[in-house]
A and B are shown apart, each in its own frame.
Chain A
Amino acid sequence: MEEIILKAENMFKEFGATKAVSDVTLELRKGCVLGLVGENGSGKSTLSSMIAGVYPPTKGVMTYKGEEYRPKSVLDARKAGIQYLTQEQGTIDGMTVAENMFLGEEDQMSKMGNVSIKKLNLLARKILDENGMNYVNPKAMVETYSFEDRKMIETARALSHQPAILIIDETTTALSQKGRERIYEIIFEQKKAGTAIVIISHDLDEVQKLCDEVLIMRDGVYVDTLKGDEINAHNMREKMIGRTMEGSYYRGDFECTYEDEVVLEVKDLSVWGIFSDVSFELHKGEILGIGGLSECGMHELLKTVFGAIRPTSGSVTLVQNQVALKNTTVSVKNKVAYIPKDRDKESLFQPTSIKDNIVASSYDKIKKGFFIKPSDEKKLADEQAKKIEVKMQNIEQLIRDLSGGNKQKVVIAKWIANESQIFIMDCPTRGIDIGVKAKIYKLMDTLKHEGISILMVSEEMMELIGMADRIITMKDGRLSKEFTRSKDLSESTIISAIV
C-alpha cells in the first residue's frame, strides 16, 4: 500500500440549511488515482473544494503530510502543493498568457514590489515548453487561444508547481478527444512521479480507465469505495443512484416511429465560415440527432435554426403556418424551444428563483388582460417543477443553488410550460449525472410520443444511437451522411462519417 499523503476525516460542509457533505472520510495516496463519483449534488465537488482551499469545512480534520492542514484559500492550498483544475475557464481575458500563469503569485517575480515582466515571460516560456506547448506565446493575450489551449495553459501552470496532489474536477467534460487524451497522458505521468490524483467525472468509462480506487457519494454522504475489478460502470451506476438499473436507459425500441408530417424545414442554410448548404426536414414526433466533431458547426447550426444567429443564406421555415424563423422572438412565439449547451450562461437567470425561470417564456400564456397574477405564476411554476421532479426546497429557491442536473430540468420545464412543439436541444445531458440523464431520456421519449419534435445535437455517440430516429452527421461544416435508427448502428459507423 502506498504512503498516505492526505487524510480528510469526518468532513462536513453546510451551506445554511443545506448539508452538502456529511461525515465523509477519504485518504489520498502517493501515486494513486482516486475517482470521486456521484450524481449532481452528491457533494463530490464540495469535498474536493475543501481540500483545495475553496471552502473551509464546517467540521472535520484534514492531515496533510503528517500535519494538520487548514488551507485559508486556494492560494494557500496551492502553496502547500495542492493544485485544483476545474471545468470552468480559469484564465482571464485582457491579460497575457504569462500574467495568467502567475496570477496571484506575482510576488515570486517581484523585487521591492516591482513585478519583472521579463522574468514572468521567461518562466512562462520554460513551463510551456516543458509541457509541449511551444506553440503558445507567453506574451500573447490569453483570449487569442482556444478554450482547449487555455485549459492546457492552466494545466501547465498547475503542473509547474510539481503538485503533491492534483484535483481534476470535470475538466475533461469540455475538452475534445485530443484534449482528453492529453489530460490522460498527464495523469499517467503524474502518477508515475508520485502525485496523488483526484478525478471527478460523470464519464464512468473514463473513471474506470484511470482510477485505482473510486469513492462513491450520494446526497452528501459516503456510500462505498470500489477497488480493482470492482470498478466498472455497472457497479458505480448502481451505487451512485442507490438502486439497480436494468438494461439501458435509452429508448427501448429500434424503429423510426415519427409521423409523415414535416414540421420544420431547413433549406440551404449557411453561415459564412461556419457551415454551408445544410438542408433537412424534421417530422412530427421525430427525434432527429445531429453528430460531429465539436468544431464541425453543429452547435452554431442549432443556434441558427432557433434564430439566434443570422444566416448568410438559406431559410428555416415552420411548415404548417409557413413562418420563417428569423429571430428568437419569432421562434418562441411559434412554440420552438432551445436548450443550449451552456445552460448557465445562455439559458438561466442565475440570481433569480426557479419560479421566475420557469415562467420566463410563458407570460403570454398566463396574463389576463394587462395583468399577470402572482398566484398563476406560482401555480404554473409549481406544476412544471413537480412534473419534472426538480430537487428543490421550493420554487422560490435560487437557480444558482441547484445542481447541474436540476438546473437542466428547470430549463426543460420552462419550455414545457410554454407548450413548445419543437425542442432544439444542444447536448441536453452535458455534465449531468446518470440519474438525471435517465430522466431526461425518458422525458424526451414521452415528448416524442406526444407528437413533439426534437432536434438534438450530441457529442456522445451512444446518446444519438440510443435516442434518435434519424442521425445526420456533419463534417467540416457540411452534412456528411444520414443514418436511420437501427439495432445494428454502431459508434464506429457514425465516427467514420464524422472524422
Chain B
Amino acid sequence: MLDLWELASIATRFALYLGVLTAVGTFLTTLLFQITGCRHFTVGFALLGIAATVMGFSLSGAALTGDAGGMVDFEMLGLLWSTSVGTAVALRLAGLGLLIVGLLLGRVGRILSMIGGGLALWSFVTVGHIPDRGSLLLSIALLFHLVAISIWIGVLTPLRSLALDPSRLSDAVRVGHRFGKIAAVFVPLLILAGVYMGYELVGSLSSLVGTGYGQALIIKVLFVASLLTLAAANKLRFIPQMSRGDPAAAGHLSKSISIEWSVIVTVILTTAALTSILTLPS
C-alpha cells in the first residue's frame, strides 16, 4: 500500500510534468505557429513547475526519513543535492526561471526563454531510469520524446482558444493545419522512441505483463493510443470541416481538445507513478 509520502510524491511529480511540459510546449508552440496572447498562461505553468520542483525535492527528503522532518533536514537534502537529483533540480529551476524572464522581456527575451525551456526539458534527461542506463541513444530518444509531447500539449489550449473565437477562426485553421503537418512526422517518431525506451527499460514480455512497472506502462500506452485517435479526428475531420466553413466544427474541435486534455492528464499521472514509485523490472 502506498504511504502518504509516496502519494505526495506522485502528486508533486504530476504537477511537475504538467507545469514544465505545458509551459515549455506553449512557448515553443507560440514560436512555431506565431500565436500571441499566451504569456500569462505560460508563466502560470512555469511557476507551477518551479513550485513542484521545490516541493518534490523537499518531499524526497521526507521519503528518506519517513517523517515530515525530512522535508527540512539539511543532511537529507544535502545528500540529495549531491546526487543527480540535485543537478536536475538546479537545471530545472534555472531553466524555468530563464523561461519566465525571457517571456517578461518580450521579443528580445525569446532566446533566453528558448535556452530556459531547453534546460528545463534537459533536466529530465539527467536523472531517473533512462540516464542510469548510460546510453546516449536512449537519452536522445527521451529528449525527443519530451520536446515532441511538450509541443503536442502546448498547442492544445491556444488552438482551442482560437477555435472558440469566431474572429480568429482562420488562425485556428492555419495552426491546426500546420500542427497536423508537423505531427505527421513527429508522431511516428514519437511512437518509435516510446517503443525503443519501453523495450530497453522493461526488456521482455513477461516483465511487461508481470511487473507493476510493465503494467503501468501498458496502461499508459492504452491511453496514448486513445490520444492518437482523438488527434487523428482533429486532423482528418474537424480542421478540414472548419476550413470549409462548417459552423459546428469549431465546437467539435473544442470538445475533442477538452477530452484530449483529460487523457493527457491521465497519461501524465501514469508517468508520474512510473517515475516516482515503481521500480524497473530486474
The judgment on whether A and B are partners is no
Interface positions of A (Cβ within 8 A of B): none
Interface positions of B (Cβ within 8 A of A): none
